[in-house]
Amino acid sequence: SLTFRRAQLVALVAMLEDHKDEAVAALASDMGRPAAEAGGEVAVSIREAKDAASSLERWSAPEPKPVHLMMQPSHAAVRRSPYGACLIIGPYNYPLMLCLEPLIGAIAAGNATLLKPSELTPATAAFLEKRIPAYLTAEACRVVTGGVEVSQALLATQWDFIYFTGSPRVGRIVAKAAAEHLTPTALELGGKAPAVVLSSADVGEAARRIVNAKALNVGQTCIAPDYVLVDRSQHTALVAALTAEMRAMFGDEPHASPDLGRMCTVGHFDRMAKLLAESGGTQRRGGSAPP
């Protein structure tokens, strides 16, 4: 019922408001997230849950549709029904928000959900595993934690809908497993996001926006700029502006800045360091890489 769905969403808001500091601490433990960034992730989830709770009647109302002349005087409408049992597999980069946002949608649509947070962010996974059962009923959501073997076991099970956020490589695995049961899926996968700087651009403003967007969650964002396409006439000025902006934001040793997060794992860090070393380009700005 809509009453049940609304109650679960309100309970989710209460969970986040009651334990915001705990959630922020978990994100800091997993990702080295600055308090403002981590608090923003919690705030976005609260806003989404509140918006969904206030929109249930409108979203669930039948949507009248026109009827062909041959079918007159009948009436037609689109009526939205729950899928049923849903599986949500969350990512590591925004381990709270990108678990809770699809969960909010699943609850609002009347589904029962099994939530699998990323094993790469154990503190946030433990927070969800501990707090969700204390606020939401098991009929609405259950949480299971574990590594790849748990995900594999879950994907071997038949579901009514699967929501996955992550890499295209793992997305293919999820899609293949879902196809065995003809299970509908939503795959939110990473891609490429270039920044384009034209000859008419304000170089200083462009640099500020690029550094801000890339530094958020230290680039572990699906829409973070991956590379810059710049008009040749702006190239030298843009490189200088980017260098100055990075120094202004994070100092001479960015790893010591309290305003910059951390890569999720050592493996992720090492992969980025290798890409930089093998790029063949010239490093204009950076700092030391502490162990």
222 given a catalytic annotation = yes
d(CA 38, CA 27): 6
Number of helices and strands (H, E) in the chain? 10, 9
Give residue 86's identity as a one-letter amino acid code: C
Catalytic residue among 141, 222, 253, 264: 222
Question: C-alpha angle with apex 164: 119 to 151, nearest 5 degrees?
Answer: 45
The 3-class secondary structure across 133-191, one letter per residue, is HHHCCCCCEEECCCCHHHHHHHHCCCCCEEEEEECHHHHHHHHHHHHCCCCCEEEEECC
99 given a catalytic annotation = no
Q: Cα 10 vs. chain centroid, distance in angstroms?
A: 21
Give residue 258's identity as a one-letter amino acid code: P
d(CA 197, CA 201): 6
d(CA 266, CA 272): 10
Q: Judge contact between 116 and 154, C-beta under 8 A.
A: yes
d(CA 26, CA 125): 9
d(CA 45, CA 265): 24
Strand-pairing partners, residue 186, are: 163
Catalytic residue among 141, 188, 205, 264: 188
State the catalytic residues.
188, 222
